[in-house]
Chains A and B, each alone.
Chain A
Amino acid sequence: MNDATLIRKNLFRKRLRAILLMVSILIAFLIFGVLGALQNAFTMGSGTAAQERLVTVNRINFTVALPYAYWGRIEQVEGVRNAAPASWFGGYYQEPQNFVQSFAVDPATYLEAYPTEIVLPPEERAAFLEGRTCALVGRALANQYDWSTGDRIPLNSNIWQNTDGSQTWELDICGVFDDTEGTYPTNYLMLHYEYFNESLAFGRDSFHWITINTEDPALNDQVSGEIDALFANSSAETSTTTEAAFNEAFMEQFGNIGLILTWVIGAAFATILMIVGTTMVMAVNERTREIAVLKTLGFTAPRIFRMVLWESLLLSFLGGLIGLGLATLAATAASSALAGFLPSFGLSLTNIVTALALMAALGLVTGILPAYNAMQVRISEALGKI
């Protein structure tokens, strides 16, 4: 037996209470882990935004289309090196729940817009550029649906209608692309804008955004100002921002994820802090007599302080690690199901380190008061008499 035995026995002296406390801490860290994984998924895109890329969208919002003619006019703006138009396709595969993030793009300019991020063999690149019905698929998406180069797939749209009355476009997978450093999403599909546009039953000759590469990041402000000035007072005014700002705006359609997560996690931890803190104070108060006996036997006040604090830390780490473990399992299980929509759904090392720090903080904050109270127990008062 040693102090650790005493700490463990004291923690589990009322097993149900200890388990309930642990479950409440577990839930807090499960929420922390899952929401952290979600935040990682939502913030991944902004990390890949290059400095020299701008995005032009309709000033109303990016779901409202821009006229096709804008593309050519933007290409003429001084400082623009490349302009790549793209449209939402709103795709799904076989069943509506099989969401496929898909864009209709101009192949040459789109690949030019992401010269280092999109990695694929030269022959597949050439095939994609030349084949009107070709689609380029990201590795994560291809793995999700077990697609490979040479496959012919029917891709349905939940937005557009084909001139043949269907909502289906037959596509040939001409290539599967990877990313260079694991930071660029490979969870989407590109199809030819021309093939898409010519078969549209409505809404032809428009696109949703243009990705622009400037000749120098220093020209960004000038270029974006000129583009927006070009279409000022038109029926479709534009808003040109950096790609990073566009990605953030895209994420904000789901709300301010970071702020929501901070509030949810903060509320969960504040609640847990009060519950665990109060219970720990009560649990130690119940043991005043036993603490007095330990002091009588010769246990020093600092030693008793440490034992109570370790008890609180043990509780926090047990609940926290189980919660974090469950969050990791949940994120792993969900990541394959969500691969098409949220490719980076998973806990990062930062999440884990933060969680460990929170466990330590929770243990210390909830343990410090009862530990201090235990340290201050006066033997003669606690025992009444020896």
Chain B
Amino acid sequence: MTDASGLYELKNLSKRYTRGKETVAIFDGLDMTISQGDFIAIMGPSGSGKTTLLNLLGGIDRPSSGEVLFEGQRIDNLGQGKLAKWRAKNAGFIFQFYNLMPTLSAAQNVELPLLLTNLSGKARKDRVKTALDIVGMVDRAGHRPAQLSGGQQQRVAIARAIVADPKVLLADEPTGDLDRTTADEILQTLQLLNKELGKTIIMVTHDPAAASYAARELHLNKGRFEEKGKA
């Protein structure tokens, strides 16, 4: 599934936090390459920096030092406005707790990223319908999040993540709040998006069963990656 073209390149990446007088290094000198079409599961113990890494890849946090390159361009040094535009164009986010807008219907939630594009109202509606169709939620388009189950909400969240056709999907514990059966359905959907639509997916998870859906598993431990090969 993966090809040779590098989508992400992390160079000598460090992230440190200051707590009082103490400086804590999450990782130091991390190097990594993610190719277009990868489906990577990032695993590791709590506090190992999985979510921090995902934040850096998604352009919502900045490294203490080092570089984050996306398609050969640095994104770690972009201003907030440019970074917001970069996120809107290139990254789709899937949260553990879905984070749908409670006042909006499923379709309106999915349409949110398209408000940042120049698409016409009709084009947006068509896109929303397609995205909901991909995740099997067309018949729930008019429902509000409170009227949907956890699994259905996560499907809507996935539709929202893919509707603007981003190059990468960043998922943080996307099945962490779901039962096994529903989690498997969600993971199958992600696998489908990776295999059929070629979406690059980077998923943080604690769950080995969830990680098994990914093409690559990376274990983050003490600021270093340990890659577990897969057939």
Decide yes or no: A386 and B116 within 8 Å by CB, A9-B104, A13-B103, A296-B93 being known contacts: no
**With an 8 A cutoff between CB atoms, is A267 at the interface?**
no
Residue from A2, A9, A293 whose CB has the most chain B CB atoms within 10 Å = A293
User: Which B residues are CB-close (under 8 A) to A9?
Assistant: 101, 103-104
CA A242 to CA B93, docked complex, whole Å: 77
CA A2 to CA B108, docked complex, whole Å: 10
**With an 8 A cutoff between CB atoms, is B180 at the interface?**
no
- The answer to whether B80 touches A386, judged by C-beta atoms less than 8 angstroms apart, is no
- The answer to whether A298 touches B170, judged by C-beta atoms less than 8 angstroms apart, is no
**With an 8 A cutoff between CB atoms, is A290 at the interface?**
yes
CA A294 to CA B84, docked complex, whole Å: 10
User: Which B residues are CB-close (under 8 A) to A293?
Assistant: 95, 99, 101
**With an 8 A cutoff between CB atoms, is A257 at the interface?**
no
- The answer to whether B84 touches A386, judged by C-beta atoms less than 8 angstroms apart, is no
CA A1 to CA B108, docked complex, whole Å: 7
User: Which A residues are CB-close (under 8 A) to B60?
Assistant: 295-296, 379-380, 386
Cβ of B26 to closest chain A Cβ, rounded Å: 12
**With an 8 A cutoff between CB atoms, is A235 at the interface?**
no
Cβ of B43 to closest chain A Cβ, rounded Å: 15
Decide yes or no: A2 and B58 within 8 Å by CB, A13-B102, A298-B85, A383-B95 being known contacts: no
**With an 8 A cutoff between CB atoms, is A3 at the interface?**
yes
A side interface size, CB within 8 A: 26
B101-129 contacts to A, CB under 8 A, are 101-104, 108, 111-113, 115-116, 124
- The answer to whether A386 touches B95, judged by C-beta atoms less than 8 angstroms apart, is yes
Cβ of B220 to closest chain A Cβ, rounded Å: 14
CA A57 to CA B101, docked complex, whole Å: 72
User: Which A residues are CB-close (under 8 A) to B86?
Assistant: 298
Decide yes or no: A299 and B55 within 8 Å by CB, A380-B60, A386-B60 being known contacts: no
Cβ of A14 to closest chain B Cβ, rounded Å: 10
CA A289 to CA B93, docked complex, whole Å: 14
User: Which B residues are CB-close (under 8 A) to A295?
Assistant: 60, 84
User: Which A residues are CB-close (under 8 A) to B173?
Assistant: 385
- The answer to whether B103 touches A297, judged by C-beta atoms less than 8 angstroms apart, is no
Cβ of A215 to closest chain B Cβ, rounded Å: 74
A339-386 contacts to B, CB under 8 A, are 379-380, 383, 385-386
User: Which A residues are CB-close (under 8 A) to B103?
Assistant: 9-10, 12-13
User: Which A residues are CB-close (under 8 A) to B116?
Assistant: 297-299
Interface of A is mostly: helix
CA A9 to CA B145, docked complex, whole Å: 14
B34-71 contacts to A, CB under 8 A, are 51, 54-55, 58, 60-61
B side interface size, CB within 8 A: 33
Cβ of B13 to closest chain A Cβ, rounded Å: 16
CA A318 to CA B163, docked complex, whole Å: 35
**With an 8 A cutoff between CB atoms, is A301 at the interface?**
yes
Q: Mark A285-305, 1 if CB is under 8 A from B, else 0.
A: 000011001111111111000
**With an 8 A cutoff between CB atoms, is A97 at the interface?**
no
User: Which B residues are CB-close (under 8 A) to A3?
Assistant: 115
Contact of B84 (CB < 8 Å), options: A10, A290, A301, A380: A301
User: Which B residues are CB-close (under 8 A) to A289?
Assistant: 99
- The answer to whether A301 touches B80, judged by C-beta atoms less than 8 angstroms apart, is yes
User: Which B residues are CB-close (under 8 A) to A233?
Assistant: none
Closest residue on chain A to residue B100 by CB atoms: A293
Contact of A297 (CB < 8 Å), options: B61, B87, B104, B172: B87
Decide yes or no: A300 and B96 within 8 Å by CB, A1-B108, A9-B104, A385-B51 being known contacts: no
CA A383 to CA B51, docked complex, whole Å: 11
**With an 8 A cutoff between CB atoms, is B187 at the interface?**
no
- The answer to whether A290 touches B101, judged by C-beta atoms less than 8 angstroms apart, is yes
**With an 8 A cutoff between CB atoms, is B190 at the interface?**
no
CA A66 to CA B60, docked complex, whole Å: 85
- The answer to whether A386 touches B93, judged by C-beta atoms less than 8 angstroms apart, is yes
User: Which B residues are CB-close (under 8 A) to A253?
Assistant: none
Binding site for A on B (CB under 8 A): 51, 54-55, 58, 60-61, 80-81, 84-89, 93, 95-96, 99, 101-104, 108, 111-113, 115-116, 124, 160, 170, 172-173
Binding site for B on A (CB under 8 A): 1-3, 5-6, 9-10, 12-13, 289-290, 293-302, 379-380, 383, 385-386
Q: A2-B115, A300-B81, A386-B172 are in contact. List 12 more A-B contacts (CB 8 A).
A: A1-B108, A13-B102, A290-B99, A290-B101, A293-B101, A296-B58, A296-B87, A297-B113, A297-B116, A298-B89, A383-B95, A385-B55
Closest CB pairs A-B (n = 4): A298-B88, A9-B103, A385-B51, A379-B60
A-B contact pairs, 22 of them (CB 8 A): A1-B108, A1-B115, A6-B101, A13-B102, A295-B60, A295-B84, A296-B87, A296-B93, A297-B116, A298-B84, A298-B88, A298-B89, A299-B116, A301-B80, A379-B60, A379-B61, A383-B95, A383-B99, A385-B51, A385-B173, A386-B55, A386-B170
